[in-house]
Structure 1
């Protein structure tokens, strides 16, 4: 199945009493994309976002093209979705590229999703009542513990992003490292033969297909059994 579009996700950061905090939003439990999951603000990049960025949408561009051509429009979409979902206003230029996520072939909806970090602006959170039912500012450690206890449902990109953010003491440190590094691409592949676990692998894992970079014993994967998830990276 081919990719059917591009999306943007914004990880809002602030400093709390216990260190770095992120904003998570709860999706309705019975309908919509990621039903019941706690996610970062974000959504699909619309044709209007490409127009505002001064570029053509993918279906009108000549091939081959670089996925990075979508980043200016994704920044605009990320800022737009953030204000639509939370009421918090961001400038697109405040978004710092973090990663790019490509769903596995088996996913029912395949959107290439750009993840950005951004410092949280001042303002009161006003949730879009049609799309969201709750919000919370929490440390990455706290979110992952709630997930393990079955009290917060996460999806794989959210889980991995939170795991990576655990290393930073404050928002400034996370933003500085992201700004100095090239965004990493996570092109996901589901591995067979690990039932009852579900295993997603990425570039560098020894079992990542058609890779060549994964030496024997190397790990870059997420192992999932119920709410007991482990991100393994050599």
Structure 2
């Protein structure tokens, strides 16, 4: 199901702030979760009248979303513009805040795992609003709302004060990297689509090791990052970066062709490029996740810590992995 999410940003006294809304406890899907405003793309968002009133063209919308730079489920320019229309509409419906399609900065793409009761293919956008902007009105899908700095929000999640999902976690990480005084140009540059087209590539280097060249690095179109498959009969995925499912699907085909099975995932750091795609494995396939002790102070998924020289708690008996260098 196509959907759009908007990360509303404003300048605050302490620096950049982001709007997080809490879903009501009565919601069937994601009760009490803190999220960015957004929702599904409705059929009416693709009506000719809605598209003509958007203020940007289909070609501009397609370029914004990096269509053709990575496997995107056959998204067409008209669909891309409908996502922009939905982003503007959902923001107004859930917060009372009015933005324009031309104000939207494309960020990332996330696809929820098949294991969830509802599956969404979500395009994330950002939009800057004036510093005094507040949510206006009472809304069925919003129980509470707050403006927080990205680092402040991450700390609140780590303390258990708010509950967030993986896409929100990684987006906050990406924004926190930019610093407290980040502006529109900083955000646009940080999330600009790359230029590397094509799908996932898996190159077997030896019987127990393959290199994974993944698209959608940390959800950004046209950007790629490297991961690994380690093991023979019991295969461990190292540093899953792609949150769209394209790479995890390719890995599943590769592992099945070997007559092997996926045993778990390892992340070498909490850099977004190293763990953005872990939800597809941890939640989607129910695989355990391990990391070096002390490298993951908190994450929105269970992590088993492994010390130097210790065997992984999954995979072949006695199996160890040593990361000699990692990003972040």
Give the TM-score range, shorter chain. Answer: 0.7 to 0.9
* Cα separation, 2, equivalents of 1:47 and 1:106: 25
In structure 1, the residue matched to 2:51 is 53
In the other structure, the counterpart of 1:23 is 19
1:218 Cα offset (Å): 7.2
Q: Which residue of 1 aligns with 2:31?
A: 35
Higher relative contact order (CA 8 A, sep 6+): 1
Matched, 1:81 2:90: yes
The answer to whether the 8 A contact 2:109-2:124 is kept is: yes
User: Which residue pairs with 1:117 in the alignment?
Assistant: 126
Q: Which range moves more in the overlay, 176-185 or 45-54?
A: 176-185
Query: Which residue number corresponds to residue 162 of structure 1?
Result: 172
Residue from 135, 138, 147 that aligns with 2:145: 135
As a proportion of its length, which structure holds more strand? Answer: 1
- The alignment of Structure 1 onto Structure 2 pairs a total of residues equal to 203
SS at structure 1 position matched to 2:250:
coil
What's the offset of the Cα at 1:184? Answer: 1.3
Alignment partner for residue 250 of structure 2, among 207, 210, 216?
Answer: 210
State the partner residue of 2:299. 229
Deviation at 1:112?
A: 0.5
Cα distance in 1 for residues equivalent to 2:35 and 2:116:
17
Query: In structure 2, what is the equivalent of residue 171 of structure 1?
Result: 183
1:36: Cα distance to partner? 0.2
Cα distance between partner residues in 2 of 1:119 and 1:20:
10
RMSD: 3.4
- 90, 93, 98: which one aligns with 2:102: 93
Deviation of 1:91 after TM superposition, in Å, equals 0.5
* Contact persistence 1:49–1:76 (CA under 8 A): yes
Question: Scaled by the length of structure 2, what TM-score is found?
Answer: 0.54
Contact 2:105 2:188 in 1 (8 A): no
Q: Does 1:13 align with 2:25?
A: no
Asked which structure has the greater CA Rg, the reply is 2
TM-score (norm 1): 0.74
CA drift of 1:149 comes to: 0.6
Query: Residues 146 and 179 of structure 1: is their aligned pair in 2 closer, same or farther, counting only changes over 3 Å?
Result: closer
1:184 to 211, 220, 224: 220
Q: Work out whether residues 240 and 267 of structure 2, in 8 Å CA contact, stay in contact via their aligned partners in 1.
A: no
Unaligned runs of 5+ in 1: 56-63, 187-198
Rounded Cα–Cα distance in structure 1 between residues aligned with 2:28 and 2:170: 22
Q: Judge conservation of contact 1:100–1:115 (CA < 8 Å) in 2.
A: yes
Distance change in 2, residues 1:203/1:88 (3 Å): closer
Alpha carbons of structure 1 residues 167 and 228: separation in structure 2 relative to 1, 3 Å: closer
Gap change, CA 1:24 and 1:200, over 3 Å in 2: farther
